[in-house]
Structure 1
Amino acid sequence: MKYWPVLLLGLLPLWAQAVEVGERLAPWTLLDQFDQAYTLDHQTQTLLVARSMDAAKLVDAALKGEPKGYLEARHVVFLADIQRMPRLIAKMFAVPAMRDYSYRVMLDREGRVAPRYPGAVDKVLWLQLKDGQLVAQHEYATAAQLHEALEKAGP
């Protein structure tokens, strides 16, 4: 009897509905690597979600050599789920290293936003939006594929 509440609470995240094509994404606000707030709005056309360091490295590799403002010019927002990263490591090493990137990274430190968009942990989830509504989604497993998609989404 004592185990039922624990089991039910453990399964609760599995009942959460994944966002589906045609649905409007709920707005959220997160801080980037410079502690600057960003709120998801209707002007965002693409949301990239990385749930792991491997997925974030794919985004970094896809953006190597691209100028500052590359993502913004394409109305792309990059969201990194760093909730599993130890806070001390994030604060002392990871986030300061991200400040050298030529692009903004919205940091989901508490796991409030990224779980809304389920996908493979080792891939980058691409959510295509129009006026805040999801119109398509893809997953990318290589930096080359992601870079090609970003180029097609040109400004």
Structure 2
Amino acid sequence: MKFWVAVLLSFLPLWAQAVELGERLAPWTLLDQFDQAYTLDNQAQVLLVARSMDAAKQVDAALQGQPKGYLEARHVVFVADIQRMPRLIAKLFAVPAMQAYNYRVMLDRDARIAVRYPAPVDKVLWLQLEDGKLVARHEYASAAELRQALEQVQP
């Protein structure tokens, strides 16, 4: 019995942190691929969350050919959950490769932020924000769908 109580209590933080429509997102700060800090604020209109390498590749494919500053102009913030990646691989290969991207990637190295926004691991989570509140939620399984959605966001 104690085991099951412990298991249930271990999942409590995940349930407590999941954000619902109409709720204000708690502010957080992450470093990007250049170790520059970014703090989520009320200016963000869209939060993209990739919880796997496959999902992050969808974002990259959707942004191919877009100019530098494309996401920033649309007030879109991209968070990549890289906590499952071995730290040495991230430091030596993955993060330096991300520095060639023409967009900013907020790196969730310790699974502090991405876990707040549950979604299937193989899809890109789109959280539509208005003054810091969640107003809509979508999941994209393909780069083409994501690209089309991004094109609808006004700069």
Same fold (TM over 0.5): yes
TM-align CA RMSD: 1.5
**Could you tell me which residue of structure 2 aligns to residue 88 of structure 1?**
88
Q: CA deviation at 1:18?
A: 1.9
Name the CA shift for 1:135/1:33 in 2 (closer, same or farther; >3 Å): same
Q: CA deviation at 1:11?
A: 3.4
- Aligned residue type for 1:134: L
CA distance in 2, matches of 1:11, 1:27: 22
1:104 aligns with 2:135: no
Query: For residues 96-121 of structure 1, what are the alpha-carbon distances to aligned partners after superposition, in whole Å with 9 as ceiling and x for unaligned?
Result: 00000000000000111000001110
**Gap runs ≥5 in structure 2:** none
Query: For residues 49-99 of structure 1, what are the alpha-carbon distances to aligned partners after superposition, in whole Å with 9 as ceiling and x for unaligned?
Result: 000000000000000010100000100000000111110110010000000
SS in 1 for 2:125: strand
Query: For residues 96-148 of structure 1, what are the alpha-carbon distances to aligned partners after superposition, in whole Å with 9 as ceiling and x for unaligned?
Result: 00000000000000111000001110000000001000110100000000000
Q: CA deviation at 1:6?
A: 4.6
Q: CA deviation at 1:48?
A: 0.2
CA distance in 2, matches of 1:2, 1:145: 46
**Could you tell me which residue of structure 2 aligns to residue 135 of structure 1?**
135
CA distance in 1, matches of 2:14, 2:99: 34
CA distance in 2, matches of 1:104, 1:14: 27
Counterparts of residues 9-88 of structure 1 (less than 5 Å): 9-13=9-13, 15-88=15-88
CA distance in 2, matches of 1:143, 1:6: 40
Name the CA shift for 1:35/1:139 in 2 (closer, same or farther; >3 Å): same
**Gap runs ≥5 in structure 1:** none
- Which runs of 4 or more aligned residues in structure 1 lie more than 3 Å from their structure 2 counterparts after TM superposition? 1-6, 8-17
1:146 aligns with 2:142: no
